[in-house]
Structure 1
Amino acid sequence: MRTVKEWDKGKTIPPECKRLMRMTKGRELSPSEQWEHFKMHYDRLELPTGQLVTAQQILTGIALLEIGALTDLEAAGQVLKYARALKKMM
């Protein structure tokens, strides 16, 4: 507690502590650049496109990709939309 009070008084916060605080608040998932624009909002993951998805939606998407169920044009369009958004960020 004393250390935090020192930070409040203006003492420099170590980079490791800043990163830990960002991760705790959901602002940073990983130091890796691949996760740079992803954030957690309570129980949902915010994608770089701004869409909030649940764990179940992510698992469903992975399952659909694994079984090759992307013959539906609408689903393929959504995947392309996210791929383009990710490409712009890289």
Structure 2
Amino acid sequence: MTKNQLFRQFHCNLTIEETAKLCFKSVSTIKRWDSGDTIPKECKRLMRMYSNREISLSEDWAGFYCEQGKLVLPSGIRLTAAQILMASALVEIASDNDLKTSSYLVRVARALSDIKIRYGS
């Protein structure tokens, strides 16, 4: 088993077919990677992003990651694209009072998360 195959299968938890589809490559190309050919940097990054290894370099996204097509919040809640779109729509139609309450709750949640990170659970 090559380093590339270990990366694809165990680090990213992707099948050959999933990797081919994700990277817009043929199955035979992925098999060549598994045999030792170099995986292009952009494909490795896509594979990491898909398998929850990274979402952004920005501090605003600290604690967030993607896992198998869902956004995982720092709280562990997993959201589908439909749920995110619904939440966005609800924010768009919310009243000023609702927005102030929501902003306050987000600040409190982040503060609690910071305390948990600093002092453990």
TM-score range, shorter chain: 0.5 to 0.7
* Higher RCO (CA 8 Å, separation ≥ 6 residues): 2
Normalising by structure 2, we get a TM-score of 0.44
How many residue pairs get aligned? The number is 83
* Residue from 48, 58, 68 that aligns with 1:33: 58
Deviation of 1:47 after TM superposition, in Å, equals 0.9
- Give the AA of the match of 1:45: L
Matched, 1:83 2:121: no
Task: Give, in whole Å, the separation in 1 of the partners of 2:66 and 2:74.
Answer: 11
**Equivalent position of 2:87 in the other structure:** 57
Pair 1:47 & 2:73 matched: yes
- Structure 2 vs 1, CA of residues 12 and 82 (structure 1 numbering), >3 Å: closer, same or farther? farther
Q: Give the alignment partner of residue 4 of structure 1, picking from 30, 34, 37.
A: 30
Task: Give the partner amino acid of 2:58.
Answer: E
Q: Does 1:67 align with 2:96?
A: yes
Structure 1 residue runs of 5 or longer lacking an equivalent are: none
Q: Which has the higher helix share?
A: 2
Partners of 2:109 and 2:46 in 1: how far apart?
A: 29
